[in-house]
Structure 1
Amino acid sequence: MSQEFIPAVFYRGGTSKGVFFNAKVLPRDRDAVSRMLVAALGSPDPYGRQLDGMGGGISSLSKAVIIGPSTHPDADVDYTFIQIAVDQAVADWTNNCGNLSSAVGHFAVDEGFVPATDGEVLVRIHQTNTRKLIHSRFQVRDGKAETQGDYTIAGVATPGARIRLDFLDPDGAVTGKLLPTGHAVDSIDLGADGRFEVSIVDATSLIAYVDAAAFGLTGAETPDQVEARPGAMDKLEALRRRAGVLAGLGTTPEAIGLQTPRIALVSAPAAFKALDGETFTPDQFDIATRMISMQRAHKAIPGTGGLNLGVATQIAGTIPNRLSKPANAAGEVRVANPSGLVSVGAIVRQTEGLWTADSAVLFRTARRLMQGEVAIPASNGT
């Protein structure tokens, strides 16, 4: 046969979509799995559309997930995330996706990994990329994850059933340290392009923050406007790679991968119009961000990006902390992004001069969109 067919499920989780696999249907060899996933998503595509696969041409729609029995004593399932590049044959296993994390519990219940009775269920997830635990709480009806509800999130047109995600001990998910360099702010010299302040924070994911004003931006720009700013994307990529070196991910900028760290522009609240046309005033949110994912300006906000920013705003001296309004009594921060607003929560403390994040909370919705088999050209299989 010219193609092989692998059982899979297609999910929307938060503002992302991805192909989900039961670990038992995939080979053990990671390189072989990477080739299969790249082919399944339709990469590499120089046209940037992934027309010959399940991907959608942007980073938030070019993702894969593998779920298997837990290897952690305090979890029900193992969850591995793989980011697939659009225009390159790259499968990046270095980080987590907070948005697709919301669909993991649904998959676990619906596929029988976790038996559940009707009502609220807790699925304990071992996130293997970051070696962290996530608690997913959601409703079950007739033995299956409930998808119908009235909870809405920015970037998703239809409401759904609310999912609560508690990311336990989120600090040091990539580097082992909440502040990988030991500093709230570092300085990066790009030579003729100037010197920039960055805050590098590792909580659920690794992100380097830079003040949007340093690029002549207000933080109210659309993703297209960010990308159209002369020289901005090249400078942001150079900063991102140098931040990766500072964080210890590689010895040279060229050694830093496409996904980790991310880089994000942040700014104090300013009025803006979301991609759906809704307008927001500065009193409606606490901080604004325009995040870059896989070298493109994100149209919403990565789930782990929102969680990281919620933590970063509460670490004294960081760039997000300088620009954000204070969190409320529950540790909640309202984050503006191109698609609207998202609320994130975090518990952060300082002990003997060291910062620690005890937990971070995100609310999402998810829905199973399709189930069956995904076709993989035989030359990319095992």
Structure 2
Amino acid sequence: MTDQLTVRCVLMRGGTSKGLYFHGADLPAPGAARDALLVRLMGSPDPLQIDGLGGSRPITSKLAIVAPSTRDDADVDYTFGQVDIDRAVVGYSGNCGNISAGVGPFAIDEGLVDAVEGVTPVRIHNTNTGAVMTAHVPVRDGKARVVGDFAVPGVPGTGAEIVMDWSGTVGAKTGALLPTGSPVDDITLENGSAVRATICDAANPCVWVPAADLGLDGSEVDFSETLLDVVREIRGKAAALFGLCTDWHRVDDESPGLPMVGLVAPPGDYCTLTGTTAEAGDMDLRVRLIFMNRLHESIAGTASVCLAAASRIPGSVVGPVATRRRTDTLLIGHPSGITPARVAAQEVGEPPHVSFELLGFSRTARRLMDGVVYYPRSVQ
């Protein structure tokens, strides 16, 4: 076709996200040319992404670039990209747990990793953070399994369970579990009020704030623009505290995806986005996660890891609102239901007074389409 060019692409669902998966060799080298191509493929900037493959929401405007690893301790290198919807920007400031869940099956099915019948461990080096995680991918007849009985709230039906171990990602972005050195920081807002926050870096940096500090119950599934502006201010001021932006007003430009902000509350009954009832007795706490200045429909995989870690930090704002039904699991109530995160922790004498033997979660993934995606020749 004279007006358009093509690039190989796989469209996959990973957890509660959906994204484009590429071989690194099929794309331009990192830089402006590659970003321009990725933005055009997704259809940004446009609220509907109508002229691209994006789905008009942050959870469907993601991508993964995968290649054989350059490290001895990893099988593949994986770069995560978050494509802005309203701006021609690709963010590489962190990782996505849901999209990460699709990297192992992609690597196996594309022949980047030799399949081992039963379960194939795939060591994934995330280039965004420098950390290595391991995906334990179920395999049948040399391909990643899709059919199974594991359910992920926010995803219709069930699938084959992929166990993700993120214990090697503590401090991956900032170098410390507690980037400010404190389990609680007071963040003063422009209106003079203050909120308590635990700023934690495990999988991805997140800011955890008691929902009650913002006058919320913790069961909300819709936030006003006024409240989202307050959360953006909290996010910006937290980001400035540990160097992700130079000024809190510039957080959307300098660090559009991170940190995420989660509003935490004790267990309570609420109606999910699908109309079912999430019962207090089935969860350890409630959380409402704000991602890319929008309420997340469920909870990001990396945020669930970070929340599990924060729940075990002595003195954090998360511990007092969380019950503990099982020592190695945190049951997280979010807008789409209840999701478990795995955490095995022990107290230690030195700050932050906790260490982790296990941090992770389980997800499902499914290849939806593969082939070539078209883009105008003028993008070159």
Q: Counterparts of 1:39 and 1:278 in 2: how far apart (Å)?
A: 38
Q: Counterparts of 2:315 and 2:41 in 1: how far apart (Å)?
A: 44
For residue 276 of structure 1, report the CA deviation from its aligned partner: 1.2
Deviations 1:20-49 (A, max 9, x none): 00001011132221111111111111xx21
Q: Counterparts of 2:43 and 2:103 in 1: how far apart (Å)?
A: 23
For residue 251 of structure 1, report the CA deviation from its aligned partner: 2.5
Q: Which residue of 1 aligns with 2:228?
A: 233
SS at 2:52 equivalent: coil
> AA paired with 2:14?
G
Structure 1 range deviating more: 26-35 or 311-320: 26-35
Q: Which residue of 1 aligns with 2:240?
A: 245
For residue 64 of structure 1, report the CA deviation from its aligned partner: 0.7
Cα RMSD over matched residues? 1.3
Q: Which residue of 2 aligns with 1:338?
A: 335
Counterpart selection for 2:344 from 335, 344, 347: 347
Q: Which residue of 1 aligns with 2:264?
A: 266
The percent identity for this pair of structures is 38
For residue 305 of structure 1, report the CA deviation from its aligned partner: 0.7
Q: Counterparts of 1:69 and 1:32 in 2: how far apart (Å)?
A: 22
Alignment partner of 1:39 is 2:40? yes
For residue 109 of structure 1, report the CA deviation from its aligned partner: 0.6
User: Is the 8 Å Cα contact of residues 49 and 56 (structure 2) preserved in structure 1?
Assistant: yes
Q: Which residue of 1 aligns with 2:53?
A: 54
Q: Which residue of 1 aligns with 2:310?
A: 312
Q: Counterparts of 2:51 and 2:170 in 1: how far apart (Å)?
A: 38
User: Is the 8 Å Cα contact of residues 195 and 214 (structure 2) preserved in structure 1?
Assistant: no
Q: Counterparts of 1:90 and 1:327 in 2: how far apart (Å)?
A: 42
User: Is the 8 Å Cα contact of residues 265 and 285 (structure 2) preserved in structure 1?
Assistant: yes
SS at 2:257 equivalent: coil
Q: Which residue of 1 aligns with 2:323?
A: 325
Aligned 1:1-382 pairs, distance under 5 A? 1-45=2-46, 48-192=47-191, 194-222=193-221, 225=222, 227-228=223-224, 231-256=226-251, 257-326=255-324, 328-329=326-327, 331-355=328-352, 356-381=355-380
Q: Counterparts of 1:49 and 1:359 in 2: how far apart (Å)?
A: 39
Q: Counterparts of 1:119 and 1:357 in 2: how far apart (Å)?
A: 27
> AA paired with 2:8?
P
> AA paired with 1:221?
E
User: Is the 8 Å Cα contact of residues 152 and 159 (structure 1) preserved in structure 2?
Assistant: yes
Matched length: 374
SS at 2:37 equivalent: helix
SS at 1:191 equivalent: coil
Q: Counterparts of 2:209 and 2:241 in 1: how far apart (Å)?
A: 15
SS at 2:191 equivalent: helix
User: Is the 8 Å Cα contact of residues 19 and 99 (structure 2) preserved in structure 1?
Assistant: yes
For residue 117 of structure 1, report the CA deviation from its aligned partner: 3.6
For residue 250 of structure 1, report the CA deviation from its aligned partner: 2.5
Q: Counterparts of 1:12 and 1:193 in 2: how far apart (Å)?
A: 43
For residue 298 of structure 1, report the CA deviation from its aligned partner: 0.5
Q: Counterparts of 1:96 and 1:136 in 2: how far apart (Å)?
A: 15
Q: Counterparts of 2:209 and 2:200 in 1: how far apart (Å)?
A: 12
User: Is the 8 Å Cα contact of residues 41 and 373 (structure 2) preserved in structure 1?
Assistant: yes
User: Is the 8 Å Cα contact of residues 203 and 357 (structure 1) preserved in structure 2?
Assistant: no
> AA paired with 2:159?
G
For residue 272 of structure 1, report the CA deviation from its aligned partner: 0.6
TM-score by length of 2: 0.95
Q: Counterparts of 1:246 and 1:357 in 2: how far apart (Å)?
A: 25
> AA paired with 1:242?
K
TM-score by length of 1: 0.95
